[in-house]
Amino acid sequence: MGKKEILLDRIYKYCNIENHLFKELAEILRQNFPGFTLVVPTLKGYQLAEEIHRYLGGAKIEWIYLKSRTDERLLMGDHLGGTGITFEGILKDTERHYAKRGGMEKAQMETRSGFEISMYHRGEGEEGEEEVLWMLARVTLSGVQIDK
């Protein structure tokens, strides 16, 4: 409470449902904890990232762990700032990745129950496309208005 942070340690979207559980959770948090920051230390699934963006707005990436064909790398702090990697950019790169492979619906159907759809980053340099293994993201809850 002193840090004005809410830690969302483990939440996964295991199945496609019409009721958006995260939407309701976000509304409860927004109403009861204005000015707090939602911290997601191990965000790895596209569906949750997309819902965070849809219902809470742009999140800030503080750490990101990426895997390319040949290497893995952890970026944080100053090393992350100069890369141009953004939360919104990751979502767009992921959508492009799956569009080339038959679409998001196909990816969801091919993903085993209990597993999340991976996110991707398309780098400009020699890294090429990298899978996002996980990221630490923060989003402020103040001023957010969730549509009912």
pLDDT category at 22 given cuts 50, 70, 90 is confident
pLDDT category at 143 given cuts 50, 70, 90 is low
Closest by CA position to 98, among listed 72, 57, 131, 128: 131
Closest by CA position to 132, among listed 48, 15, 13, 8: 48
Report how far apart, in Å, the C-alpha atoms of 121 and of each of 88, 96, 101, 135, 146 are.
11, 10, 15, 12, 28
Check residues 79 and 96 and name the one with the higher pLDDT.
96
Instruction: Output the average pLDDT for the chain.
Output: 84
Q: What is the CA radius of gyration of the chain?
A: 16
Which of the 8 DSSP states describes residue 77? T
- pTM for the full model? 0.83
